[in-house]
Structure 1
Amino acid sequence: MLCSHVRPNTYQDSLRLMQLSRALADVPGVDRVSVVMGTPANKEMLRNAGLDVDGLDEAGPTDLVIAAGVADAAAAGALVARAHGLLTPRGPRSGRSGPPTVRSLDRAVAVLDDVNLGLVSIPGEYVAGEVDRLLDRGIHAFVFSDNVSIDDEVALKTRAIERGLLVMGPDCGTGCIRGIPLGFVNAVDDGAIGLVGASGTGLQEVMVQIGRLGGGVSHAIGVGGRDLSARVGGVMCLQGLRALDDDVATDVIVLVGKPPARRVRDRVMGLAGGLSKPVVAVLLGDRGSARVDGAVRHARTLEEAARVAVELAGTRAGRPVTPRPEQRWITGLYTGGTLAAEAALLLADSRTGRASGARGHEVIDLGDDAYTRGRPHPMIDPGARNQQIGAVLEDPETAVLLLDVVLGYGAAADPAGALAQAVVEGLAKVQADGRDVAVVASVCGTDDDPQGASGQIRVLEQAGVTVLPSNAAAVRHALALVERRAGAKTPGPAPAEPVRRLLSETPRIVNIGLREFATSPFERGAEIVHLDWRPAAGGDRRVQSLLARLR
């Protein structure tokens, strides 16, 4: 037999409807059950499924409809009782706190002063009206909702550009602003790598890999899967790139997506190549790109994009350094001969590797015969290298001191400890003169070595050394530091002040739609209020249109 239960004016979001359906399916004697809002499309779906229950014709878009096949009247009664219990509001648990709940945007703005971000996860047909209201108030929008027409997307993003705002999405699954998660996001450390992505899980994968490599993320700006299409034109991607280039917390930018339309690709790459910060682009499936396109480095995989970004930005434990214009050169003091040779080759191949005069990047192999006559090899006794560190740091043209640390049986018992002391003393003298030098290293070793690689890395980082996963990565990071200065361009027009504020302050959020999306930002320290949304005018499209005109 069929059983129905219609609750007038009981709007529930899609996640809540799914939860209700699962809970009611466990009631004994229930064969199948569907819980939907009474929209015309949903009612037609129930009829096609053989659930043309009593009261279905009269149900409206804001009425909750429970339709089920049950074994008998007792099962029907149990189903209705269970539904009543699930839908009856419960008071807050003792000691539990969370985001306040309001019923209108006006009330949300009154409760939380200076709201600057709306997190929207409502049915797609209602998105344009709600986002319009956000934009009218100067509020950025993160739109998780799908099934938004492309015409609405273009119109909303055009309005946002005119007002200096961001519309992230629609169909935007992932974002992160100053460590505050938006939608589906993994927990990663803060850092200097900013991301713009037209792919939710692509952003997640790059962020996760950055974290595993020791890097950190400043922001992740999702733009929605259609942003790079010819119809939308990449407008939010361009806005996001400009914003990250202007952001003081971001040193390297990663662009994630699928191949754009050709015209859009030209616009995006043209802008990316003119930014003041390096850009790593991973446009999956775009085989036409050179590996390096001006200032843009192209990666073939998400993992490669993360690796290159960390090499350019350094690890989150790295010390920020601002060399003077005259500090142009890298000097490497090495204990391993082959590592020194690899470093020298990479430096020579770089665009800053050859000087017009006699000076240039330099790698010294302190294990060479010329340096070991009458003294132990520097892998056994690091004292010889330590004596030279001060002179290299004091050289007014040195921008980066590049080092290797080699562990293993036969090597010094604590090479990082001896090196760290020399670095700390040398940097103190340099900084007392008003200068600074970046110190970059790699550690060749494992945790099973007598010295223990993790402990050695920790000692170096505490001394202010940026440690990269390999010698080649350390050299590439050192080059990025000097090339960024040598190739720095004047940025284009600065982002509008609302975008600057969004990236420079912890966002103040109104959550419109799925209540669950308010939890993570709240737990991470964001000021957030949840708007218990339901369609205006009971879902009546004609009345909604009239209300929109009155605004």
Structure 2
Amino acid sequence: MNKTVRVLRDTYLDSVLQLLGARAMRNAEGVEWATAVMATAANVDALRQEGFDPPEASPSDLILAVRAADPAAAFAEGERAMFGAREGGPAERLPSSIEEALGRQPDSGVAVISVPGDYAALEAHKALSHDLDVLLFSDNVSLADEIALKEHAVRRGRLLMGPGAGTAMLAGVGLGFANVVRPGPVGIVAASGTGAQEVMCLLDRRGVGVSQVIGVGGRDLSAEVGGRMALRAVRMLDDDPATELILLVSKPADEEVARRVLTVASATPLVTALAGVEGDTLESGVVKALELLGRPAPPFERCYGPSVEEAASRVAPARTTVRGLFSGGTLCYEAIVVLSRALGPVWSNTPIDPRLRLPAPPRSHVCLDLGEEEYTRGRPHPMIDPEARVELLRETGPDVAVVLLDVVLGHGAHPDPAGILAPELAGLDGPQAVAYVLGTELDPQGYQDQVRKLVEAGCVITETAARAALAAAAIAARKAAS
């Protein structure tokens, strides 16, 4: 096999297009391994670990790398997938600046920024200076830059959603990873992307729609950032006639910051879904919202596939641990909290106790957020490409009783994540798979179709992420007790 690298200078592509290119190259005849990534320092280092010797490149360059019998043919397939829209004649040159983009679309109101973190803050300041709201999808933006950007946004009366804001919905238009939900009376302010997605989907499944979803970035409710954007978002929703109730979604926040945010709305009720706070889950936040709207609904108790009791009976007594493999950071965090209360310490790369970030001892419970940088270096986010989970599923140890995972649907996510994961889950020799499918029937993947594929693979499927963690704990605890 030939190890070959091709660098396309000054060619920035978002992660979805990178994934299309990588898939096309991997599917070409005679290809053993392939990737398409931006030439960030982390990605270049990951390529070196794969045995490649990439040339000098800047973060604005695109790198294609393959191990293949015919690298040229593989590169051709990758470039065709990424740049196919340009075939058949000269394509219109893409704008190279915010100013040029506004020249073509002068009525634009939102800028979505997804560039390497070193450049993201500058581009976001430019967009704010043009009185645009900003969805800052990029991460690796410094805390100081985040504070400066949010102060700039507040002065101009604009939104700065992010950094690392993966989900928003403004005036019915989804941005980033977004699910298809009905319009309705609940406005969501979220310091969590998958947290926002779960609550909007659970509301939709109980017949209640969403007015707006404003993602503020995971650090916004910290003491340092001070809730600058959450405060602005709550005030905006408080003034929005389409919003009858505000739902605040976050991991545990700084107490003083949370207090200010919870009391800023004057005309609109506000409830919380704070994953990880005692007695509070994403599900419980939705239940509180439904009750306050006067629309109580049946509990989220439905379970697809085998019952927990039946699943537990299949697992050998020697298998006693839970292995969580998550694409959603907040879903992972919530699972850690639920599992640790039921089973004891859970080791993770995003732990609730910093001491638990040490290497996991044998026969321990482990939950991994596969969207963290250590797993996304040189490859797309696991919501876009399930390949990282496929590899880890094949490494499940003899002590594992339950494999726990989320399957996230919606725009921006993989077109058929269950179709990729189901064969691997069906092939598990010993552990029971428990999954939560985050989505709606109107999502491109189709909620029931994704559930069906996982059930046919033998999975237990719950209606909420918290209940999936509880089911996993029940299975593992029962076997441990035996």
Same-fold status (TM-score > 0.5):
yes
Q: Residue 157 of structure 1 aligns to which amino acid in structure 2?
A: K
The SS at the match of 1:90 is helix
8 Å CA contact 1:193, 1:313 repeated in 2 = no
For 1:254 and 1:122, the matched residues in 2 are separated by 30
What is residue 290 of structure 2 aligned with on the other side?
Answer: 310
Query: What pairs up with 1:141-152 in 2 under 5 angstroms?
Result: 141-152=134-145
Aligned counterpart, 2:27: 26
Distance 1:28 1:302, change over 3 A: same
Specify the alignment match of 1:465 in structure 2. Answer: none
Which residue of 2 is the match for residue 283 of structure 1? 274
**Which residue of 1 is the match for residue 213 of structure 2?**
220
User: Structure 1 residues 59 and 225 mapped into 2: Cα distance closer, same or farther (>3 Å)?
Assistant: closer
Displacement of 1:65 after TM fit?
A: 2.9
Cα deviation, 1:244-267, whole Å, max 9, x if unaligned, reads 111111111111112211221232
Match of 2:315 in 1: none
Question: 1:502-541 counterparts in 2 under 5 A?
Answer: none
Ranges of 4+ aligned residues in structure 1 off by more than 6 Å: none
Given that 1:257 and 1:282 are in contact with CA atoms closer than 8 Å, whether structure 2 keeps it comes out as: yes
SS at match of 2:6: strand
**Could you tell me how far 1:88 is from its partner in structure 2?**
5.0
- The residue type equivalent to 1:10 in the other structure is T
Q: Is the 8 A contact 1:6 1:59 kept in 2?
A: yes
Aligned amino acid, residue 76 of structure 1: P
- For 1:51, give the aligned amino acid: F
* Aligned match for 2:133, one of 132, 135, 140: 140
Structure 2 Cα separation of the partners of residues 88 and 211 of structure 1: 36
Report the CA distance shift for 1:34/1:84 in structure 2 as closer, same or farther (over 3 A): closer
Matched, 1:163 2:156: yes
Q: Work out whether residues 175 and 182 of structure 1, in 8 Å CA contact, stay in contact via their aligned partners in 2.
A: yes
Judged with a 3 Å threshold, the aligned counterparts in structure 2 of structure 1 residues 166 and 88 are, in CA distance, closer, same or farther, namely closer
Residues 1-41 of structure 1, C-alpha deviations (whole Å, 9 max, x = no match): 33333333333233322322222122222222333334454
State the shift of 1:442 in Å: 11
Matched, 1:65 2:63: yes
1:444-463 to 2 correspondences below 5 Å: none
Cα deviation digits, residues 269-313 of structure 1 (max 9, x gap): 3325xx2221112223333xxxxxxxxxxx723233223323333
Separation in 2 of the partners of 1:442 and 1:121? 39
| Distance change >3 Å, CA 227–CA 58, structure 1 → 2 | closer
Q: Conserved in 2, the CA contact under 8 Å of 1:213 and 1:307?
A: no
Q: Taking structure 1 as reference, are residues 206 and 135 closer, same or farther at Cα in structure 2, changes over 3 Å only?
A: same
Provide the residue aligned with 2:468 in structure 1: none
Equivalent position of 1:184 in the other structure: 177
> What code does the residue aligned with 1:90 have?
A
Task: Determine if the alignment matches structure 1 residue 76 to structure 2 residue 71.
Answer: yes
Amino acid at match of 1:276: A
1:442–1:261: structure 2 CA closer, same or farther, 3 Å change rule? Answer: closer
Q: Deviations over 1:421-458 (max 9, x none)?
A: xxxxxxxxxxxxxxxxxxxx999xxxxxxxxxxxxxxx
The aligned amino acid for 1:205 is: E
* Aligned twin of 2:423: none
Kindly indicate whether residue 196 of structure 2 is the aligned counterpart of residue 203 of structure 1: yes
Contact 1:215–1:314 (CA under 8 A) maintained in structure 2: no
SS in 2 for 1:250: coil
* Aligned residue runs from structure 1 range 40-59, under 5 A: 40-52=41-53, 56-59=54-57
SS in structure 2 of the partner of residue 122 of structure 1: coil
Contact 1:175 / 1:183 at 8 angstroms: preserved in 2?
yes
1:105 aligns with 2:103: no
Stretch of structure 1 that moved more, 14-23 or 120-129 = 14-23
Determine if contact 2:290/2:297 at 8 Å carries over to the other structure: no
Conserved 8 A contact 2:192-2:215 = yes
Say whether the 8 Å CA contact 1:209–1:307 is kept in structure 2: no
What secondary structure, in the 3-state scheme, does the structure 2 residue paired with 1:102 have? coil
Within-5 A mapping of 1:357-376: none
Query: Counterpart in 1 of 2:232?
Result: 239
Distance 1:277 1:34, change over 3 A: closer
Mapped partners of 2:57, 2:198: distance in 1: 43
> Against the structure 1 CA distance between its residues 210 and 129, is the aligned structure 2 distance closer, same or farther, given a 3 Å change threshold?
same
Question: 2: CA distance between counterparts of 1:31 and 1:269?
Answer: 53
How far, CA to CA, are the matches of 2:17 and 2:160 in structure 1?
Answer: 25
Structure with greater contact order relative to length (CA < 8 Å, sep ≥ 6)? 1
Instruction: Specify the alignment match of 2:262 in structure 1.
Output: 269
Following superposition, the deviation at residue 229 of structure 1 comes to 0.8
Change (3 A) 1:279 1:43: closer
**Is the partner of 2:85 in helix, strand or coil?**
coil
Distance, in Å, in 2 between the alignment partners of 1:283 and 1:77 is: 50
Displacement after TM superposition at 1:44 (Å): 3.6
Fraction of identical pairs, as percent: 41
Match of 2:120 among 123, 127, 134: 127
Matching of residues 405-484 of structure 1 within 5 Å: none
Let me know the Cα RMSD of the aligned residues: 3.2
Distance 1:87 1:206 in 2: 33
Tell me, yes or no, if the aligned pair for 2:262 and 2:270 is still in contact at 8 Å. Answer: no
TM-score, with length taken from structure 2: 0.56
Show CA shifts across 1:391-444 (max 9, x none): xxxxxxxxxxxxxxxxxxxxxxxxxxxxxxxxxxxxxxxxxxxxxxxxxx999x
Distance 1:7 1:116 in 2: 31
CA drift of 1:80 comes to 3.9
Deviation at 1:314, TM superposition (A): 4.6
Contact 2:20 / 2:78 at 8 angstroms: preserved in 1? no
Alignment correspondent of 1:252: 245
Q: CA deviation at 1:137?
A: 0.8
Secondary structure in 2 matching 1:113: coil
Q: Which runs of 5+ in 2 are unaligned?
A: 299-383, 385-410, 413-441, 443-482
Q: Given that residues 59 and 116 in structure 2 are in contact (C-alpha distance below 8 angstroms), is that contact kept between their aligned partners in structure 1? A: no
Q: How far apart, in 2, do the equivalents of 1:137 and 1:27 lie? A: 44
Mind listing any 5+ residue stretches in structure 1 that lack a counterpart?
Answer: 94-98, 288-298, 316-440, 444-513, 518-523, 525-551
Aligned residues: 299
